[in-house]
Amino acid sequence: MKFLLPFFLGFCLSCPPSFAEPADPKAYLQMIYENKGGYIIPAEEIDAILKAGGHPQYGEIPYDSAAHILDDLNLSRQDVFYDLGSGVGKLTLQVYLTTAVKRSVGIELSKTRWIIAESCRKQATADDHIIHGRDLVFLNQDISSASLSEATVCFISGIAFPAPLIQSLMDRFGTLDHAVKVISVLPLPAHRQFMLIKTYNLPMSWLPEGVDVFLYQVTPTPPQPEASIKPRKRKKR
Ligand SMILES: C[S@@+](CC[C@H](N)C(=O)[O-])C[C@H]1O[C@@H](n2cnc3c(N)ncnc32)[C@H](O)[C@@H]1O
């Protein structure tokens, strides 16, 4: 039996890393989200989102449109993906299931949408698609105050996010100590740390004919040199 061990270890090391991908991720997502809704939310949730400076309007990036961008991004085990305004969590789950990211995080302020996302996360866990050491996280939080410090790739799909929210997100990306890629369905205002690297035209749930989607590279703020401290002169007595 002992002589089989090196062969077994060799076999394990030659296996590609598992990304918990179901045989057909698109069909799997369709199946677990069937009849889940998420478009209509209670009036008090709409009020809370507006009060927080966000916008409750709903729409989704279809699976194939997201797959097109994800092919270009080639996300690795070093990446942490954030969907800012993640709705019912389809994109966050797609990124988890079809890429190697260390963590896929969806942030959504509507409790109704977040509950649907959580129920699908639990379903994916029960179906053995969530692997120990790689996280799928849904947070019921306001994106304007949620921590983004770990993010390496962010999706901003708020079709109607107000300008101050977009500006504050951009400023926060700019203060990170590492480079970030930002995908936005709105063209972002000029910012010295944001460079547009690609424009796509992809079908979205609200416009199947195609919507421009923008991919930006955000360069981190260079570390500031420490202020030189002048030695204090001794007073002559
Ligand atoms: C257009 S939907 C995007 C859904 C998802 N990203 C997708 O592409 O499938 C935008 C979402 O952002 C949420 N949202 C708006 N303002 C928010 C805020 N301040 N914090 C968290 N979520 C917010 C809305 O409730 C809505 O579900």
The string of pLDDT tens digits covering residues 33-65 is 999 999 999 999 999 999 999 999 999 999 999
Within a domain: 64: yes
- Specify the ligand 1 atom closest to the Cα of 143: 20
Residue 186 reports pLDDT greater than 70: yes
Ligand 1 neighbourhood includes 87 CB (under 6 angstroms) = yes
Mutate to test the pocket of ligand 1, among 30, 45, 58, 206 (most ligand atoms within 8 A of CB): 58
Nearest CA to ligand 1 atom 8: 60
Within a domain: 124: yes
Residue 237 reports pLDDT greater than 90: no
Mutate to test the pocket of ligand 1, among 157, 165, 200 (most ligand atoms within 8 A of CB): 157
Q: What is the pLDDT of residue 6?
A: 53
Cα–ligand 1 centroid distance for 135 (angstroms): 20
Q: What is the pLDDT of residue 182?
A: 98
Q: What is the per-residue pLDDT across 150-165, written as a single tens digit (0 to 9) for each?
A: 999 999 988 889 999 9
Report field, pTM of the whole predicted structure over 0.75: yes
CATH number at residue 138: 3.40.50.150
Among 68, 104, 106, which Cα is nearest to 84's? 106
Within a domain: 98: yes
Domain span at 145: 18-218
Within a domain: 12: no
Q: What is the mean pLDDT of residues 206-233?
A: 82
Cα separation of 97 and 52, whole Å?
31
Cα separation of 60 and 77, whole Å?
26
Ligand 1 neighbourhood includes 154 CB (under 6 angstroms) = no
Ligand 1 neighbourhood includes 38 CB (under 6 angstroms) = no
Ligand 1 neighbourhood includes 55 CB (under 6 angstroms) = yes
Cα separation of 201 and 214, whole Å?
9
How many domains, the chain? 1
Within a domain: 8: no
Within a domain: 43: yes
Q: What is the pLDDT of residue 90?
A: 98
